[in-house]
Structure 1
Amino acid sequence: MRLGDIAAELTVITRDTIERQGFGNVAALLRNVAGLQMTNNGGPGNTTSVFVRGAETRHTVVLIDGVRIDGQSTGGARWENLPVSLIDRVEVLKGPASALYGSDAIGGVVQIFTRQGSGRPQLGLGIGGGNLGQIKADVSLLGGNADFDYAGSLAVDRGTGFNAYGLTTSKNFNPDKDGWRNYNGSLRLGARLAEGQRLELLGLKSRSDVGYDAGKNADDRGITESIAAKLSLKSIWSEVLSTQLSVGQSEENYETRPSAPYLTRTRIRSASLLGFYRINAEHQLNGVLERREDRLVNVDLVAGGAGTRSQNAVGLSYLGTLGALSLQAHGRHDDDSEFGGIDTGSLAAGYRLGGGWRVTASTGNAFRAPTLFHRGSVYGPDTSKGFPELRPERGHNREAGLAWAQGDLDFAITTFRNRVSDLIAFGAAGSCRSTTGCYTNVARAMLKGTSLKGGATLGAVKFSATADFLDPTDANTGRQLQRRAKRFGTLRAETTLRTWTLGANLVGSGERFDDAANKTRLGGYGLLNLDAQLAFAKDWRLQLNVDNAFNRQYQTANFFNQAGRTWFVMLRYAPTL
């Protein structure tokens, strides 16, 4: 099925965009995607949250070549530890998708695809530097033929940083610079075993070591490791039937030291069998069998500092095209070893009106299973005293969209209403072993909004813009959800002048609140980011980036400073060997 036939709201970020705009990590790469907002607790490498249509950061599934990246402490991937040097493209699916991906997909899905080699060997070398003491270097090698292909990369990114924490009266305040060090590598191999049989191996690791404030007289560090591995066999059995058998494992490990030592380790093992049956050119059936096993090691877990659980799932999808009408129906049953079974489903339709116009509509539900920390830590319900177990968080979404495309012009508007119930929140003590507070299913949220995006080419300049009008509300209190703005938008312009490619990007955010009571206001902000690329010789390119060009002071989380004006220069050499 073509991207144009997909009824859900989907954004694809290509390798060209990644290289041209020179982002440092996946979270920064997503800042121009309609419907997404993010917060950062300080500078590069510090804790980052991504809100898809206002949903919590743990409500977004993150997959790297199909391997799920997640943390079983408070939940969600560590966005700040996902580098872009190994990425070929990113696909962002907005809206509930548990009927396809199981637990966690209440807000959406972000799929990251690594680079795959083909053709003659191609070497990639890059080295650069900028202010904040930043030094960055990477090397990659890609190539292959019909029988064997390979792609590998290594990268380092480090800087002295700036003082990320601004509350001078806090006992944790330390006026030192909070620098960062990130190292990552990836390897992807593919081999044709026989006609229609392809074996693929993926391995990647990223490690970051970032400064933060936890004591006045110590260089406190937060250390994160993300590891993923996958082995898959893709089989084409006939013109109408193909399968993919995969086994994978990911790890998310986080540690702080020395002032407030803390360690949490998550391991996710998975196995899946996907089947694709093409009835004819207009109709297709897809099926999935999946098993997932989670393990968490954390000192606050009651059962000896470690917890485990498993989920088994079966799903079926139908994709069809009937002239101008396209249909999608998805259904899935997940069985969890802790809370039992849960069913999810979605139905979507799109219709081409002619003249470049298309309308879409969809409805579906989703869920997020409580993390092992939520249920099994000293902050989880004390079932020995009769308190009930935590229930899965649930989302129910309806949306409609209208899109138009003609030549170099395009426009799309999507309106949605996502009702999220049984949200897990940290509340008063009494139902758990801790005296400081407990996790309970007490919160509800209403996520309503309208998202717009469009593009146009006027002469030699290409424009693109997004605008989000969001109403993220705590359904119990009627207050605005924390750290989410009601108004957010971007505007980008780029052009090519001989051997130069020039770009400018405006980012604007309305005010938000740092607390649930809406007492602590975070002001709105506007940023200008600039980028330029010069192809000055065969296989040579020079990349220049200036972020926050007007040196604006702003915060996305209270007391945490954001970088002022930053500049970066990168030299790249990419010959074909």
Structure 2
Amino acid sequence: MQASPPRATLRAVARACATALVALPALSVLATSAFAQSSLDPVIIIGTREAQPLSKSVADVVLIDADTLRNSGAGSVADVLRRYAGVQLASNGGPGQQTGYFLRGANTSSTVVMIDGVRVGSATLGQASFESMSLATIERIEVLRGPASGLYGADAVGGVVQIVTKKGQGALNVTGGLAVGEYGSRQGDVGVSGAQAGFDYAASISRETSDGVSAVRGDRGSPSFNPDDDGYHRTVATARLGFTPAEGHRIGVSATQNRLNAQYDAYEFGPPADASGDYRNRLKTREVAVDYRGTLSPIWTTTLQAAHGTDDAVTGLADAGRFKTTRDQYTWQNALRIAPDQQVVLAYERLEEKADGVTDGTLKRTNNAYIAGYSGLFGPAALEANLRRDDNSLYGNSTTGSIGGSYALSSTLKVRALAGKTFRAPTFNDTDFPFYGHHDIRPEKGRSAELGLNWRSGASSASATVYRNKVKDLIVYTPDATLCPPIDDFAYGCAANVGKATLKGATLTGAHRMGNWNVAANVDFLDAKNDETGARLIRRAAHQESVSVDYDTGVWSAGASVTDIGKRLDTAGNLGGYALLDLRATWRFLPQWRLEAKVLNAADRDVEPVYSYQGLGRQAWIGVRYDMKGF
């Protein structure tokens, strides 16, 4: 269907700006003769499991820092990942509704999500719940795009998302904010942080509510349609406490709890079908961790961590069933500096998982992993290699790894390459859900390779990455009972390892800062196909672009973002492309206070994130924010 003129204009603007921005630094490289790396080169953890400058990473890593999060005006964690990391989304409605995510086209269950180094998410669904998270409690987000099972084990097929909560430093600081928006939306947060006498502390709490709209559209003939509004309320609390008894040694405790109560549309089987019930997703997640990190010698740093996490969901009517998964994770990691620019990482990781609600009893499995990693610099060249062995009590052994390198062609231009093996573990649903799962299921396996080019000069940067990922033994439902264990439970089919898929594409990024102006763009092309049928994988767009432009004088700022999503195939029909325009502005009327305003989906586009579901239309927000230290 041909786009309406406003939508076509937005999409044309997004593509033209993104292409121009990505090309701009490449043209100016011819005129650049010298480059001095910034003394504030940001540090990441995700690329090697230990701290390294972002500019030295061989992997394709995106850092979404605190300033970007604070000034983005985005409505959710998922929106931030889509805008700045190229993650594609599939949501069963608007804010608060269950959200799927595709990193480099991989399935939602094929991306690892961590909070402060601890794996999170449901071990029955095989995914984390971004809809239960709040931006107000997050310090930064690191995204590793590409094969990462050699470092992080099962499910790191598309990559890894690492969310870091706020940590105390410096003098006492108090922050807070209040905002109201259309659709009866309200949000507020307060936080405190600081460090004194060897102790560091940070705590925050946020609350968000909205009346929303009907999650299901009324024009698709869905039996789930209920014209009432489907709202939500969400409460997120975090706390981090650390003690440094001596220089180079820190003991820490952290805790995070998310509570989400979101209405959604569904129906009871008839005839006739009844969609009038009050269906809700009641989700509570909790992560608690203790850790120690110490420099034992000039060449040896060790880290110990023990963490306990739960994902407790009650989904449906008031008498709905409960699905609860529990994870206990233990990690011992050692970083050895064998030379000034060379490091070896050796780690042991144990993961104990339990699930209640899938069957009458409690399901259990354990995973022991042994990790070895190497990273080194040799003049203009860099090398990274990782090897991991996972021994699982339920599905057996898996050995994965990756190897990559980069070479500086000049002081501003670097070429890099990376290849790796990955696997996606069966969930408890895949192995034990009645009339579907069984223990003959094997992990999915993948092989991925990528080639990239990074350029950076002063306040300008650009990158281009092409990748190819082949995945086999896909875990899917098959109605062919001959592929199932020969028991009556599977007379109508079961979960099976059938099919292959190829995920290939290209990612272009660019950023430029000039005076008070800051511009950033991402362009993603994706060809995700079923190798046996040749059909595109559902809910993946062939292209997605985003452009953000901001002007900041220090006293006031204004910005706009355009995100363009291409057409997608879905199970019941095709989904048209659409473009979202978000506007934002702030005014710092006192050193510690600023007024904030934003308009999401300013062009009021009709958004259908999944077939027969709908997102919000135009939504204006106004709020005020306080920061004791000033902005």
Give the shorter-chain TM-score range: over 0.9
Partner residue, 1:352: 408
- Give secondary structure in 1 for the equivalent of 2:434: coil
Residues 34, 498 of structure 1: alpha-carbon distance in 2 compared, 3 angstrom cutoff: closer
Distance in 2 between residues matched to 1:511 and 1:262, nearest whole Å: 36
| 1:556 alignment counterpart | 609
Match of 2:355 in 1: 296
Give the distance between the partners of 2:143 and 2:319, measured in 1 at CA.
36
Aligned equivalent of 1:330? 386
CA contact (8 A) 2:96 2:262 kept: yes
Match of 1:214 among 266, 271, 276: 266
Distance 2:370 2:109 in 1: 23
* Secondary structure of the structure 1 residue equivalent to 2:69: helix
Structure number with the bigger relative contact order (C-alpha 8 A, sep ≥ 6) is: 2
Q: For 1:63 and 1:446, how far apart are their aligned partners in 2?
A: 26
Give the drift of 1:458.
4.7
Q: Find 2:229's aligned residue among 177, 181, 202.
A: 177
Q: 2:293 aligns with which of 234, 240, 248?
A: 234
Q: Which residue of 1 aligns with 2:578?
A: 525
Superposition deviation, residue 39 in structure 1: 1.4
Distance 1:565 1:427 in 2: 41
1:425 alignment partner, one of 473, 476, 482 = 476
Superposed CA RMSD in Å reads: 1.6
| Aligned CA distance change for structure 1 residues 380 and 174 (closer, same or farther; 3 Å) | closer
1:199 aligns with one of 238, 248, 251: 251
Which consecutive residues of structure 1, in runs of 5 or more, have no partner in the other structure? 384-388
Deviations 1:199-254 (A, max 9, x none): 10001100010111124322221111111010001111011111001100111121
SS of residue paired to 1:85: helix
8 Å CA contact retained: 2:149, 2:422: yes
Shift of 1:436: 5.0
Q: Any conservation in 2 of the 1:25–1:81 contact (CA below 8 Å)?
A: no
Once the two structures are overlaid, the 10-residue window that deviates more, 424-433 or 461-470, is 424-433
Contact residue 404 and residue 411 of structure 1 kept, 8 A: yes
AA paired with 2:181?
A: G
- Describe the superposition over 1:470-515 as per-residue Cα deviations: whole angstroms up to 9, x where unpaired: 1011111110101000011011111124611111001111100112
2-side partners of 1:552 and 1:495: how far apart? 25
Cα distance in 2 between the residues matched to 1:381 and 1:155? 38
Higher helix share: 2
C-alpha separation in 2, matches of 1:77 and 1:429: 30
Q: Percent identity?
A: 34
1:291 corresponds to which letter in structure 2?
R
Q: Which residue of 69, 76, 100 maps to 2:127?
A: 76
Alpha-carbon deviation of 1:173?
A: 1.9
SS in 2 for 1:120: coil
Contact 1:34 1:452 in 2 (8 A): no
Give the one of 50, 59, 64 matched to 2:110. Answer: 59
Residue 602 of structure 2 is aligned to residue 546 of structure 1? no
- The aligned runs of 1:17-36 (5 Å cut-off) are 17-36=68-87
Task: Confirm or deny that 1:243 pairs with 2:302.
Answer: yes
Residue segments in structure 2 that go unaligned for 5+ positions in a row: 1-51, 268-274
What TM-score do you get using the length of structure 2 for normalisation?
Answer: 0.87
Pairs within 5 Å for 1:73-112: 73-112=124-163
Question: Contact (CA 8 Å) 1:74, 1:374: kept in 2 or not?
Answer: no
Q: Using the alignment, how far apart are the partners of 2:136 and 2:554 within structure 1?
A: 27
Q: Which shows bigger deviation, 458-467 or 502-511?
A: 458-467
Please list the CA deviations of residues 375-407 of structure 1 after superposition, one character each: whole Å capped at 9, or x if unmatched.
012244556xxxxx1000111000000111122
2:518 to 454, 459, 462: 462
Cα distance in 1 for partners of 2:103, 2:574 equals: 21
Q: Which moved more, 1:470-479 or 1:452-461?
A: 452-461
Contact 2:432–2:438 (8 Å) recurs in 1: no
Partner of 1:114: 165
Question: How far apart are the structure 2 equivalents of 1:2 and 1:229?
Answer: 28
User: Which residue number corresponds to residue 398 of structure 1?
Assistant: 449
Residue in 1 aligned with 2:193? Answer: 142
Q: Secondary structure at the match of 1:390?
A: coil
Structure-1 residue corresponding to 2:561 = 505
Give SS of 2:171's match: strand
Q: Report the Cα distance in structure 1 between the residues aligned to 2:81 and 2:98, rounded to whole angstroms.
A: 16
Query: C-alpha displacement at 1:576, in angstroms?
Result: 4.6
**CA shift for structure 1 position 318:** 0.7
Distance 1:42 1:395, change over 3 A: same
Which whole-Å deviations, capped at 9, do the CAs of 1:86-140 have from their partners, x for residues lacking one? 1111000000101101111000000011111112111112111010100101110
Q: 1:25 to 1:289 in 2, by over 3 A?
A: same
Residues 405-430 of structure 1 show CA distances to partners (whole Å, capped at 9, x for unaligned) of 12232211000000011111112163
Decide whether the 8 Å contact of 1:543 with 1:570 is kept in 2: yes
1:386 counterpart residue number: none
Aligned twin of 1:342? 398
Measured in 2, the distance between the counterparts of 1:409 and 1:571 equals: 32
Q: Which amino acid aligns with 1:344?
A: T
Given that 2:85 and 2:143 are in contact with CA atoms closer than 8 Å, whether structure 1 keeps it comes out as: no
Matched, 1:307 2:400: no
Q: Does 1:439 align with 2:495?
A: yes
Letter in 2 for 1:440: A
Which has the larger share of strand?
Answer: 1
Alignment partners' CA distance in 2, 1:449 and 1:260: 45
Q: Distance in 2 between matches of 1:36 and 1:353?
A: 30
Count of residues in Structure 1 that have an aligned counterpart in Structure 2: 566
In 2, Cα distance between equivalents of 1:158 and 1:381:
37
Matched, 1:482 2:538: yes
Q: Deviations over 1:5-59 (max 9, x none)?
A: 1111000011111111233432122121344211111011101011000000111
Deviation at 1:146, TM superposition (A): 5.3
CA distance in 1, matches of 2:568, 2:222: 23
Partner SS, residue 561 of structure 1:
coil
Deviation at 1:353, TM superposition (A): 0.6
The 8 Å contact of residues 313 and 333 in structure 1, kept in 2 or not, is answered as: yes
Partner of 1:40: 91
Quick one: distance in 1 between partners of 2:193 and 2:152?
30
Greater CA drift, 93-102 or 68-77: 68-77
* Helix, strand or coil at the partner of 2:101: strand
- Written as runs of structure 1 = structure 2, the 5 A alignment for 1:157-172 is 157-167=208-218, 169-172=221-224
Equivalent in the alignment of 2:418: 362
Matched, 1:152 2:208: no
The AA in structure 2 aligned to 1:23 is A
Which amino acid in 1 is paired with 2:336?
Answer: Y
Shift of 1:545: 1.2
State how far apart, in whole Å, the 2-side matches of 1:13 and 1:137 are: 22
Moved more, 42-51 or 76-85: 76-85
- 1:573 and 2:629 correspond: no
